[in-house]
């Protein structure tokens, strides 16, 4: 992710602006027609890549996304104070709900159940985001390595430290769409290519806590005192078989398969074999950074991850993904097609 930052640590929730509206003068009728004709031509060129049922699903996804929206207007019920004095603040219900709706939009897409926002976790996450914003020294789980500003009490600093130990953390994004899509893309992970942020949001969880202060986000995803899965997991392919939003993978995001049970990290010397083929361009896609991890992000076991060449990942294209030679797991072969969700985010 070019501007936003994320960080992640094992079994500690993983770590990853304002919309301006302009009014232009009306175009002459003839120019409007020309623009409409151009738009129709583009739509026709796009639609040819999809079957009738696929196009109906794309249209449905776009309508759902439009309904959720990307606005940050009225994001605070009480604005945080992070300069000279400290107040964690409180997010508006509309901002929290929009964040949760985006999470559930993507969870439903891959066959997972909904999560809800927990009020106590919201308060915790807000302290995490606000202490990070007040220090403004980047991201850190537990605020390790960050000096406490003198205007923040030790008690409030501890609340922030505790929160960040149980959360995804991001810097540089404010829109719920960009925050959630950034975590799922996981292209800006500062620690590794193992997509921990993604696995938490698409993991065995049933609630979250949402915190945002300025450019800092804290999205709580587990409870360190009750650290266990709350839903049943299945094998997770990313991108998934079928249709997948292009925005989730366009920025150099790692592709992956996560297994819910086995913990394999290649200790036997067996290495995964990955191939990606562009069915649309009829070309083999170069794949690099093949790796494995079993840090239990999202309560998954083994994850095999890899990075297709960014310039070969294209909207509307169909890809065949094959993953083999993973110890104790059967080979995988599936097709995915990347579609434009038509959401104008700040980064995705």
Q: What CATH number did the domain enclosing 298 receive? A: 3.40.33.10
- Whether 270 is covered by a domain: the verdict is yes
Q: In the chain, how many domains are there?
A: 1
Domain-located, residue 143: yes
Residue 146 covered by a domain: yes
Judge contact between 3 and 16, C-beta under 8 A: no
SS3 60: helix
pLDDT at 181 over 90: yes
Q: Quick check: is 6 in a domain?
A: no
**7-30 pLDDT per residue, tens:** 554 444 555 533 333 333 334 445
- In the predicted structure, residue 31 carries a pLDDT above the cut 90: no
Within a domain: residue 323?
yes
In a domain, 9, yes or no: no
- Determine, yes or no, domain membership for 240: yes
Quick check: is 196 in a domain? yes
User: Whole-angstrom Cα distance, residue 38 to residue 138?
Assistant: 44
Question: Is a pLDDT exceeding 80 seen at residue 343?
Answer: yes
> In the predicted model, is pLDDT for residue 340 greater than 90?
yes
Order of strands across the sheet with 236-238? Answer: 236-238, 255-258, 303-308, 287-293
- Which domain covers residue 92, as residue numbers? 50-339
């Amino acid at each position: 992710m070019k501007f936003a930052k994320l960080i992640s640590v094992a079994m500690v929730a993983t770590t990853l602006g304002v919309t301006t509206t302009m009014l232009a003068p009306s175009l002459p009728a003839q120019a409007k027609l020309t623009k409409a004709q151009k738009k129709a031509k583009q739509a026709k060129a796009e639609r040819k890549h999809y079957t009738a049922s696929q196009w109906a699903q794309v249209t449905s996804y776009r309508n759902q996304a439009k309904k959720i929206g990307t606005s940050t207007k009225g994001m605070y019920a009480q604005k945080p104070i992070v300069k000279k004095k400290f107040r964690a603040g409180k997010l508006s219900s509309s901002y929290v709900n929009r964040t949760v709706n985006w999470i559930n939009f993507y969870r439903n897409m891959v066959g997972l159940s909904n999560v809800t926002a927990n009020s106590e976790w919201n308060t915790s996450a807000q302290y995490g985001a606000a202490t990070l914003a007040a220090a403004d020294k980047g991201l850190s789980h537990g605020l390790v390595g960050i000096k406490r500003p003198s205007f923040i009490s030790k008690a409030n600093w501890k609340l922030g430290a505790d929160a960040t130990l149980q959360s995804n953390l991001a810097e540089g994004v404010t829109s719920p769409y960009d925050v959630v899509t950034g975590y799922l893309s996981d292209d800006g992970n500062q620690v590794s290519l193992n997509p921990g942020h993604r696995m938490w949001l698409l993991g065995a969880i049933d609630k979250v806590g949402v915190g945002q202060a300025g450019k800092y986000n804290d999205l709580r995803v587990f409870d360190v005192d009750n650290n266990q899965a709350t839903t049943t997991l299945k094998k997770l392919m990313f991108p998934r078989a079928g249709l997948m939003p292009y925005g989730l993978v366009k920025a150099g995001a790692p592709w992956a398969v996560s297994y819910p049970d086995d913990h394999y990290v290649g200790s036997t010397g067996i290495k995964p074999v990955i191939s990606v083929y562009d069915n649309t361009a009829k070309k083999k896609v170069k794949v690099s950074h093949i790796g494995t991890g079993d840090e239990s992000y999202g309560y998954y076991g083994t994850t095999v991850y890899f990075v297709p060449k960014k310039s070969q990942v294209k909207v509307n294209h169909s890809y065949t993904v094959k993953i083999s030679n993973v110890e104790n797991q059967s080979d995988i072969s599936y097709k995915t097609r990347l579609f434009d969700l038509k959401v104008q985010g700040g980064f995705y």
